[in-house]
Structure 1
Amino acid sequence: MWPKLPQVYFQDSFRSRFIRLSMMAPPRLLELACQSLLRDETLAIAALELLPMELFPPLFTAAFAGRHNEILKVMVQAWPFACLPLGALMKDQQLHRETLQAVLDGLDVLLGQEVRPRRWRLQVLDLRKNAHQDFWTVWSGIKPFLEPELAQPTRKRRKVEGSRTEPKQPLAPLEVLIDVCLKDGTPNESLVSLLKKVKQKKGLLHLCCKKLKIFVMPMQNIRKILKLVQLESIQDLEVNCTWKLPTLSKFAPHVGQMGNLRRLLLSHIHMAPLASLAKEERCISQFTSQFLKLNHLQELYLDSISFLKGRLDQMLRCLKTPLETLSITNCLLLESDLVHLSQGLNVSQLKDLGLSGVNLTTVSPEPLQVLIERASATLQDLDLDECGIMDMQFTSILPALGRCSQLTTFSFCGNPISMAVLEDLLRHTIGLSKLSHVLYPAPLESYEDVRGTLHLGRLAYLHAKLKQMLHEAGRPGVVWFSANPCPHCGERTFYDPDPILCPCYMPA
């Protein structure tokens, strides 16, 4: 016979079962309401006029997931918010061509009306995937946070008698925000549909893009597309093309129209073969003169630009505002270029400076020293990888490095530096409290021969020695070593902080 269990046991057992059942949450009333509406498309469309604004986002999400394109088309026309962040909804899903077309058709109906619908407040269709991440979860009740610029409900308009005498205000153009990537190959169907719609609407629909990336594409195609884009909306421009100078000069006027540009990356621009010096100078001037119109430029990245040699000053003196980031990589520069750079008015507030791949072996260290000193109050990230800097040059810039109080990251791999100079570097930078990431070159003593064959035992010993110095100074931070590329396989050996060996040193 089983013993009689106390009443408290049954109470605890019931409570635990109730908790388990509660965790298996049934669909919320909001979800059930959306599902019910979507079962009858005609009813859903008819109900939109009376639908509370709180139901629009969850209903739109459900209609988007189920590809109820007719409902989406009508919902766009009745959207009660200033912005429809469709891109954030697309983050985990692909936007189907039919779905985008339904949204564009809804816009088409709106733009074709002379009188605004009663609930129309839509001003922006945002197709960027990384914008307004919280909008849909907020209005689905998952998060309590509300984004004010998106979540303002439509206010009831007052009825004003005798308002017929007031002049009729023209409808403001509706903006479509999208990040654009131009390259040859399979056409971007979303972009093609948008361009057709913008062309049809002739000023009623503005295509705006904050980020524009251009890869290999014929210049005539690029220019046709850019004619339909609001160029003043572009803030981030990347040109990753293998262009000759004349092609760059044809593109230059478009850059000059990007008055709100904040970040510019220009890569792989080459001199035209057999071009006369006068033509080269004219092409360069056509491009650099556009910088006079860029009043908001903060970040400039120049990679593999062949025309910079001896002409860096021509570009820098056209800059209107101080730069926060300047990266010149894999370019040939003269000592006079470094002198102009160190004396420029626009480098005194640099936060990031990169000269990776710029050969400084035969250049006097003084311009680089002056440049670092001038930016020492603001500099946070310094990259001098693969510059061919040797002991004497590096020793000259150490005092300036020691004054960079805001420096957090310093990388100078691929430079032939001795262990004695690395130890000197630690002594100069030990007081930089914010410096947390330093990527050192493996010291010269780590190699067995001039070909660059590593001696792993020496490398491990020297790495441990630097670590011990940091520990004794109360700064047991990260010390990363990076060896030169292996002469056999081309891979590097790293300490991060444990060794990551190139394949040649891995056991078979």
Structure 2
Amino acid sequence: MVLSLVNLCAKVVVSDHSSSPHWLSCVPRELYGSLLDAAFTGCRPLAVGELVQRWPERTLRVGGRKKPRKSPPNRLCIQALLLAVVRGLTDPRCVLQVLDLCGLQGEEGGMGDPMGGWSLTVALCSMVLQAKIGTQREKRREGERERKRFRAMEREKDLVKKERGQENKKSEEEARSGNSNGTDTREPVRNGEQGIGTSVISGEEQKIKGVRRRMEMERRESKVSGSRRESEEIDIDSEVVMHVRADLFVNARSWERVRLAMRTVGPLKLQCRYLRVEELTVSRIKTLLELLPRQGLLGLDVRYSSLGVAGLTELLPQLSTFPALSSFRLYYCNLDLHRDQPGQEGTLRDLSLGLAQLKQLSHLSFTALRLPGHLRMLLSSLSQPLEVLEMPYLSLSPSDLAYLSCSQHASTLQQLDLSENRLDETTLPSVRRLLSQASGNLQHLCLSGCGLTDRLLGALLPSLSCCRALKSLGLSLNPLSMAGLLDLVRTAVRMPSLRQLLYPNPLEDYQPGLPELPSSAQLLDWPLDELMEVHATHSQLNRVVTESGRSDLFLTCDLINYDKDLVE
């Protein structure tokens, strides 16, 4: 990637922290974005904090969709960003109102020490709580300053009253001394008038003073009660200074902290785009969903939670209250309908009706749920066709694949995952019909561990070659020979849109003793033959790609590091 002149200059500027007081005072707002990118790229947490604390725009977006071969920001830089957000709440130079961190998290322990989803979620919750504590501390300081100002005003009023009293006393003494010297100019008062007039005047003065005193006391009480009511209203309905959007990852260890942060009323309001939960009960998941804003949630990912069919049926009605929810994933959630059980049909109908309430659902993923023969009941009730359907380890039956190939979803699928579902001669016609229906839109297909032999794959290759939009194809852990693998690559190079191919190790590369038709588990655990040159297989396949003139097709047998999302 060729850096622009602005990016190169920004990289040099943020590299020297000692010069930051000079350029921070004069840098134009248009360059803040380039400087922040350079600070993240060069791992300059101090520069990140200073830029964010005085961010001149209303919105700051960090993260987004991961680009190929671009690592997420360093953990220290993210921590500096979060601390700067809290400091910026009291900095008049910071006008930030929306902080978007969606897609920021990386994989724990990855290259460059990125911050994973769980760590980022905990850090965000700590930031929300810290901002609340800081606001309360600032309110106490402001209240103390207000009380000091009020006391100073009271002392000043008392001083003025004291001075006025002394002046009145002095004037009375002067008047009395004038009378004793015979200089009294007052008109004489007739019999009894002087005592009566004096008593009347003094009584009126007392009344006036009493009224003034009561008015002053009422005014003070109204001020105190008004300030109390205002403080109570502020505590209940505090204005949100900044909205923080992020993808949250919650498990049993962090659930309490996340719940506390979501319930906190303060200057920072935490919003969730995609929620991933692990090892949580149904009640805790429902409690968490009740705290989320209704408009922002786009997806829910539930993993390793013993929901059961009954728990899932209880959860779905609450999901229907999120109008923008488009993605729902279940991963090892103990949904086992492999055996007929009493009341199972009624439970399935409730489950189907619950899925039908998700009006915007376009991404559905069921992993290892064992639902053979029930695919029609689950998917036929959906209000709109799916774009992403992932069903690995689902023990799909021939009737399931037959329904899917003729369903409303077949022609709209952009991503399909049928990994670890056994394919044979009885299911092959349905798969071919499904690929024919999806050929115009299908971009990602995974058939890993499906038991595809050379003969089955040879019958499937014509249908695969018709998928003109296909960008990635996964076929790992299938028992293919070197000859079948070469046929696969020759077909792949004739697919102009294909960018990635995940191929299996050929049977010739394994040590002796492998069964004639090994399963995916056996292929995964069986050792490769050290005497065979495994890299020679990769070189031979790449030679076919090079001879075809396809420099944009990437071949790999690395199942662990394979990522279909790296396709541009």
Are the equivalent residues in 1 in contact too, given 2:308–2:334 (CA < 8 A)?
yes
Unaligned runs of 5+ in 2: 1-12, 27-51, 61-79, 106-114, 140-228, 515-525, 563-568
Q: Which amino acid aligns with 1:410?
A: L
Q: For 1:434 and 1:337, how far apart are their aligned partners in 2?
A: 29
TM-score (norm 2): 0.57
Residue in structure 2 matched with residue 99 of structure 1 by the alignment: 131
Change (3 A) 1:276 1:110: farther
Contact 2:436 2:463 in 1 (8 A): yes
Q: Does 1:126 align with 2:243?
A: yes
Change (3 A) 1:187 1:446: closer
Q: Give the aligned residue type for 2:556.
A: W
Cα distance in 2 for residues equivalent to 1:190 and 1:270: 25
Q: Provide the residue aligned with 1:454 in structure 2.
A: 528
Q: Report the count of equivalent residues.
A: 382
Deviation of 1:426 after TM superposition, in Å, equals 2.9
Q: 2:252 is matched with which residue: 184, 187, 195?
A: 184
Maintained 8 Å contact 1:206/1:230:
no
Q: Give secondary structure in 2 for the equivalent of 1:468.
A: helix
The offset of 1:271, in angstroms, is 4.5
Does residue 426 (structure 1) correspond to residue 458 (structure 2)? The answer is no
Aligned residue number for residue 47 of structure 1: none
Q: What is the alpha-carbon distance in structure 1 between the residues aligned to residue 230 and residue 100 of structure 2? A: 18
SS in structure 2 at match of 1:27: helix
Amino acid at match of 1:98: Q
C-alpha distance in structure 2 between counterparts of 1:480 and 1:192, whole Å:
45
Q: Paired residue for 1:284, among 324, 337, 348?
A: 348
Q: What is residue 464 of structure 1 aligned with on the other side?
A: 539
Stretch deviating more after TM superposition (390-399 or 417-426): 417-426
Q: Give the whole-Å Cα distance in 2 for the aligned partners of 1:346 and 1:415.
A: 26
What letter corresponds to residue 301 of structure 1 in structure 2?
S
1:87-142 CA-partner distances (Å, limit 9, x unpaired): 699999874433244458999979937xx9xxx9x77732235xxxxxxxxxxxxx
Q: Which residue of 2 aligns with 1:27?
A: 21
Could you tell me how far apart the structure 2 residues matched to 1:359 and 1:381 are? 19
- Among residues 409, 417, 423, which one is paired with 1:360 in the alignment? 423
Match of 2:401 among 311, 318, 338: 338
What residue identity is the alignment partner of 2:394? C
Deviation at 1:190, TM superposition (A): 5.4
Q: C-alpha offsets along residues 414-457 of structure 1, whole Å, 9 cap, x if unaligned? A: 11112222222233332212222112112223334342453342
SS of 2:391's equivalent?
Answer: strand
Structure number with higher strand proportion: 1
Residue 136 of structure 1 is matched in structure 2 by none
Pairwise CA RMSD: 4.6
2:479 matched to 1:479? no
Which SS does the other structure have where 2:333 is aligned? strand
Same amino acid, percent of matched pairs: 23
How is 1:5-404 mapped onto 2 (pairs within 5 angstroms)? Answer: 25=19, 27-28=21-22, 31=25, 57=55, 65=83, 72=89, 83-85=97-99, 95-96=126-127, 97-102=129-134, 112=233, 125-129=242-246, 179-189=247-257, 191-197=259-265, 208-240=271-303, 241-271=305-335, 277-306=341-370, 308-361=371-424, 363-404=426-467
Q: Distance in 2 between matches of 1:351 and 1:473?
A: 27
Classify 1:124/1:290 alpha carbon distance in 2 versus 1 (closer, same or farther; 3 Å).
Answer: farther
Question: How far apart in 2 are the matches of 1:180 and 1:469?
Answer: 44
Report the Cα distance in structure 1 between the residues aligned to 2:358 and 2:343, rounded to whole angstroms: 24
Residues 313 and 106 (structure 1), Cα distance of their counterparts in 2 relative to 1, 3 Å cut:
farther
Corresponding residue for 1:437? 500
Pick closer, same or farther for the CA change 1:417–1:56 going to 2, 3 Å: closer
What 5-or-longer segments of structure 1 have no aligned partner?
Answer: 1-18, 33-53, 130-178, 199-204, 484-491, 495-508
Alpha-carbon distance in 1 for matches of 2:446, 2:315? 30
Q: In terms of Rg, which structure is larger?
A: 2
| 363 and 65 in structure 1: CA distance in 2 versus 1, 3 angstrom threshold | same
Residue 528 of structure 2 aligns to which amino acid in structure 1? Answer: L
The amino acid that maps onto 2:555 is V
Match of 2:147 in 1: none
Deviations 1:356-386 (A, max 9, x none): 1222246431111111111111222111111
> What CA distance in whole angstroms lies between the structure 2 residues aligned with 1:226 and 1:378?
33
| SS of equivalent to 1:349 | coil
Distance (whole Å) between structure 2 residues aligned to residue 284 and residue 272 of structure 1? 12
* Counterpart-to-counterpart distance in 2, 1:404 and 1:86: 36
Give TM-score scaled by structure 1 length.
0.63
Q: 1:285 to 1:461 in 2, by over 3 A?
A: same
Q: Is the Cα–Cα contact under 8 Å of residues 263 and 298 in structure 1 kept in the other structure?
A: yes
**Contact 2:53-2:85 at 8 Å conserved across structures:** no
SS of residue paired to 1:239: strand
Instruction: Tell me which protein shows more helix as a share of its residues.
Output: 2
The one-letter amino acid of 2:410's match is: V
CA distance in 2, matches of 1:272, 1:425: 35
Task: For 2:449 and 2:338, locate their aligned partners in 1 and report how far apart those are by CA, in whole Å.
Answer: 31
Cα gap change, 1:398/1:104 in structure 2, threshold over 3 Å: closer, same or farther?
Answer: farther
Distance in 2 between residues matched to 1:30 and 1:387, nearest whole Å: 59
How many angstroms apart in 2 are the aligned matches of 1:74 and 1:112? 24
How far did 1:245 drift? 1.7
CA contact (8 A) 1:437 1:478 kept: yes
Match of 2:522 in 1: none
Assess if the C-alpha contact under 8 Å between 1:242 and 1:267 holds in 2.
Answer: no
- 1:291 and 1:319 in contact (8 A); partners too: yes
How far apart are residue 24 of structure 1 and its match?
Answer: 7.0
Change (3 A) 1:333 1:480: same
